[in-house]
């Protein structure tokens, strides 16, 4: 059979890595796909820029639409990123009857519903394994490997920058600001790091995972998102003393009332495997009713790891080129007409345990007053610890772990505690998940 011609939009880290993997492993890829796969054209902003890939035999252009409108190209690899002009490029490629492979999580999270509808209309495929957790084949695992299960919940470390920062804070007792500067120097974090450290990147990825896990439309706007910039060395230390580690998790859980979608710092028991995922690595824990808990671990970013997922998608598309569109694996795991708009719960209806840290005057009766407020809101205390007061101050730090409770009750209790004249400043609240 004649080779399948591929066009690449974007020759940055992921695009360059993808070109390298497709060329380096060409013979093995052809054996798997059943046909040779050839990159014939690629677009880039700067034709003179040095690259990490060999572009010999590839026609370069600064106009992506030259590739999108090329009738000989069957598969478009969208590796530019972002969700602005790229959305129009992808929709035009689909309109032209081309299959699309992308690593663009924001594009899928924000516009995936529209994009998949267009793909279904034109009978083509949009593949996006690389959009979540880089080289970890988590989408294929949930969509295909676990398709016999009802997914009960999933929890993932799906942003390497945040995980690197929290790991350094724990291992080297450093503060957030200093580690963030190092992450920027190493290229893990951008000059404006909010996308990573405030949880937006993880929320994009969780949007995709939740849709595949539960058969719901993509709903990025309904995810509760909280960053790690307020986590202190003290919180990391106290958590460790209690047998926990703090990780920035994306959590999706199906309940009788609806679905919880949340990204936030989380205490998890140090004995859990996912608690020991360090540095820039990613991991996703998925609980199915038949299989039980399963853990997927690997590199969440980087040229070759992400290219691994992109190329795997290309192979899948090539294998499906001659198949009936109705018999292909659905984009979001469930048949398009079977997606169910299960309600996504507001944050006040989350049910979880909590770590609380507060500063209070070092005198009798203060702790009793705090515990009274918690009890009035049906919040049971699992553990409590009062730290030694500083010699220069008359306040002490009180650390508490609670049992599972409703978030709106915790919100009300914290407001009352902060209003006490014997309590100084804000109460630090970090959610706690046992992931059992």
| pLDDT tens, N- to C-terminus, the chain (436 residues) | 899 999 999 999 999 999 999 999 999 999 999 999 999 999 999 999 999 999 999 999 999 999 999 999 999 999 999 888 999 999 999 999 999 999 999 999 999 999 999 999 999 999 999 999 999 999 999 999 999 999 999 999 999 999 999 999 999 999 999 999 999 999 898 888 999 999 999 999 999 999 999 999 999 999 999 999 999 999 999 999 999 999 999 999 999 999 999 999 999 999 999 999 999 999 999 999 999 999 999 999 999 999 999 999 999 999 999 888 888 999 988 988 889 989 999 999 999 999 999 999 988 899 999 999 999 999 999 999 988 776 667 889 999 999 999 999 999 999 999 999 999 999 999 999 999 8
The verdict on whether 205 is a catalytic residue reads yes
Compute how many other C-beta atoms are within 10 angstroms of the C-beta atom of residue 327. 7
Whether residue 336 contacts residue 116, with contact meaning beta carbons closer than 8 Å, is answered with: yes
Domains of the chain: 4-135+303-338 (3.40.50.720), 138-299 (3.30.360.10), 350-432 (3.30.70.260)
Question: Cα–Cα distance between 259 and 218 in angstroms, integer?
Answer: 13
Phi, psi of 262 (to 5 degrees): -150, 145
Q: How far is 367 from 398, CA to CA, in rounded Å?
A: 8
Q: DSSP per residue over 169-222, as a string?
A: HHHH---HHHHHHHHHHTTSS-SSTHHHHTSHHHHHHHHHHHHHHHT----GGG
Q: Can you tell me the distance from the alpha carbon of 240 to that of 246, in angstroms, rounded to the nearest whole number?
A: 8
* Residue in 205, 247, 254, 287 annotated catalytic: 205
């Amino acid at each position: 059979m004649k080779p399948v011609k591929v066009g690449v939009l974007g020759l940055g880290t992921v695009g360059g890595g993808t070109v390298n993997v497709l060329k380096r492993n060409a013979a093995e890829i052809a054996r798997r796909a059943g046909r040779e796969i050839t990159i014939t054209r690629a677009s880039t902003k700067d034709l003179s820029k040095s690259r990490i890939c060999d572009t010999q035999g590839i026609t370069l252009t600064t106009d992506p639409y030259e590739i999108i409108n090329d009738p000989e190209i069957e598969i478009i690899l969208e590796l530019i990123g972002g969700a602005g002009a790229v959305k129009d490029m992808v929709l035009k490629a689909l309109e032209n009857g081309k299959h699309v492979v992308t690593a663009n999580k924001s594009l899928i999270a924000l516009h995936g519903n529209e994009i998949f509808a267009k793909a279904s209309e034109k009978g083509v495929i949009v593949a996006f394994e690389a959009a979540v957790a880089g080289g970890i084949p988590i989408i294929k695992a949930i969509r295909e490997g676990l398709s016999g299960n009802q997914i009960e919940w999933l929890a993932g470390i799906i942003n390497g920058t945040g995980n690197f920062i929290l790991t350094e804070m724990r291992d080297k007792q450093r503060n957030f600001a200093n580690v963030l500067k190092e992450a920027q120097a190493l290229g893990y974090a951008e000059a404006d790091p909010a996308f990573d450290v405030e949880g937006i990147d993880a929320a994009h990825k969780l949007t995709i995972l939740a849709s595949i896990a539960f058969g719901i439309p993509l709903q990025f706007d309904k995810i509760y998102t909280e960053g790690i910039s307020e986590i202190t060395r003290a919180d990391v230390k106290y958590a460790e003393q209690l047998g926990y580690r703090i990780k920035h998790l994306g959590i999706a859980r199906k309940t009788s009332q609806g679905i919880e979608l949340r990204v936030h710092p989380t205490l998890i028991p140090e004995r859990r495997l996912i608690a020991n995922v360090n540095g820039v690595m990613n991991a996703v824990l998925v609980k199915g009713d038949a299989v039980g808990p399963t853990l997927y671990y690997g590199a969440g970013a980087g040229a070759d790891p992400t290219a691994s997922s992109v190329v795997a998608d290309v192979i899948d598309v090539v294998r499906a080129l001659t198949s009936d569109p109705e018999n292909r694996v659905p984009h979001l795991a469930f048949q398009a007409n079977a997606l169910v708009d299960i309600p996504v719960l507001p944050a006040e209806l989350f049910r979880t345990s909590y770590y609380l840290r507060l500063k209070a005057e070092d005198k009798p009766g203060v702790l009793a007053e705090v515990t009274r407020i918690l009890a009035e809101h049906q919040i049971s205390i699992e553990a409590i610890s009062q730290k030694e007061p500083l010699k220069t101050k008359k306040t002490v730090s009180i650390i508490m772990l609670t049992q599972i409770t409703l978030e709106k009750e915790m919100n009300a209790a914290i407001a009352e505690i902060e209003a006490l004249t014997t309590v100084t400043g804000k109460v630090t609240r970090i959610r706690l998940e046992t992931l059992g």
